[in-house]
Structure 1
Amino acid sequence: MKLLLLFISCTLSPHDCKTGFGPGKQDWDYAEVRPGAHMFWWLFYTTANEKKPESRPLLIWLQGGPGGSSTGLGNFKEIGPLDPNLNERNYTLVKDYNVIFIDNPVGTGFSYVDSDSLLTTNNTQIARDLIECLRSIYKKLPQFEDTPLYITSESYGGKMAIEFALNLDKEIKEKQIKANLKGVSLIDSWISPIDSVLAWAPFLFQTGLIDIDGYKRIDKEAQKCKDLVDAGLYSEATDQWAKTEDEITLVTSNIDFYNILIKAELSTRKTKLKFSLDLEPNNDNSLDSLMNNEVKKALNIPSYVSWTSINSQVFEYLSEDFMKPVIYIVEEVLNTTSIKVQVVGGQLDLIVDLPVFPI
């Protein structure tokens, strides 16, 4: 049964009195993180029985891709209060925490730029924009400045999250921003790209999904990717990453990269894999329609902004940075800060897999 709840949340301070989409109290806005670069965020206040929502932790959710929309994919397809069919989930993080979905990098989801030249080209720029977004959120909602803050992320979002966390910690220590950063969660994170690529053949072989011939074919393409990374040819390595995935598609007769137990639809696999780590292979137009109609209207999104689940242009601008690792940043966070780091691996996820034994 479909559930569509539009409400007015007037129980908070006057500036929070807005018409939202879905159950519970919400807030949302744009942050101009740089002149002409507009980042969209959407906060779901916890539905826990609390007089002051800020007494519960605040979670930021960063989607992967790069170019995947947190407000759409993360919210409706993963952890938000409603699923894409607008049914209430039995469990959502919003039941226990305040959750902010940020469409990041700029150009993703409802975020937009006045000029393509303002799209980000590296992880450091992304982290800087996220800090400016958070600064804008705290300016509007200062009651959350002392609330324990956790940055949670998925796939390429983990690469963005760890540098965001490190730079935010530095700004807190320098008293450039007031925040109570406690931890960062790296879920299936693209923090060491070439290690993930090199693990594809062993993982598929260990799970019995390819034979030794298939292993050799996939590993051959993965090694080419490694050679390009070692040579510092990162854009070319990104192209080879896509070719390695194409080889996997051929060898496995189109395995689903997000759930190795099923097969993806041929009509979607070839086009989508070339520009994202974070796509639903059986995606249809229902979420696009929901976001560009009911949600867009309810949140009063500007008419010139068009939502897409994945913005391939955002990926293209980051193609030089895509295969660069951030392991050294993870080490710096662990060695120089008090930030708690959680690492989570998905058992059936191929893209950022976890082989048990080397071949």
Structure 2
Amino acid sequence: MFRNKRRYESVSWNITIGSDCPGCDRHTVTASKVLVPEDFNECTKENDIAIFELREKLSGTWAQPICLPERNEPISYNLHVAARNSGSVLVIFACSGYGGGPLFQLNDNNKFVQVGIASELCVDGKNKEQSFAPYYDIEDDMTDVFTDLRKHLNWICYKIGLCYRQNIFTTTRTFLEMASTIPYDPTERSAPSNGEVQEIVQPNDENLKRASAGGPGGLSCNEMFLVTLAVITVVFGTLDLIFDYKHVALAKTIFSMALAVLTIVAVITKSSILMLVVLIFLTILVVLVTAALVVSVILFFTEGKQLQTGQIVEIIITALSYLCIVFACISACILRGQY
């Protein structure tokens, strides 16, 4: 894909969409920034990958998004390489000059997933010196080398400003769904094109934060859990204030409702500071509830009283509430790290 890692002015990067698509309208855009890994090795072609940020948004007329692989994405024996071949864009081997082209496959959801980027291409009938690419004694001395996207997910997600967490994502994400404006990194400067024409999918311009994932409304599982728990707390707190008002428990109810509202605001704004405050209060709450439970258990065994049905129900509700608080604390800790 990249034959050198020299950095130039980004204005020289021009990307043509539909350059090899028969009957398609070509569309050329300029890249505002290009990011290449610091550990890219020109000789071994290790970490042969780059991220382009375009100056304008692309519509589905010129390009279509493709899914990123999961970290443990299995590689199929039925792989496709995008290249020109008598009007078809699906061929079983790459052609010379298509460095940077995607290697993709169909997943279980019948969606195309890109698993590789063409790095070294060998051509049938040519040896290593003629094709300028390595070959191994496999099927007509033709072996194409691709950069494994699965190994670069951390780098990709860091550069586009979004964390990719396999345990949170419920579906494979596409660049159009998960990409955001690439954050400024003083160690990475923009670079121009060396003449190669690449087909790039432009990320959208929504300012997504690092915790966006595949849940409903763009919320991750941890965010959905916290918001749901907060809404339930506000509802029950309001009902207590209206129908079961107790002056003694007023401070406790107001504190719970305030913490719930703060949690919702922290998730909506994806604020790291607010989530840190929520995490601190939840941690304190976990410690206090743990101490109260320990004291209750000690008193129960020391007094030797028989448990009544109402007491059993109360213990079960308290235990469930305690577990919810603990899981809320864990979720807040995870989201704090993501924000």
Q: TM-score range by the shorter chain?
A: under 0.3
**Structure possessing the higher relative contact order (Cα contacts under 8 Å, 6 or more residues apart):** 1
What's the TM-score, normalizing by structure 1? 0.26
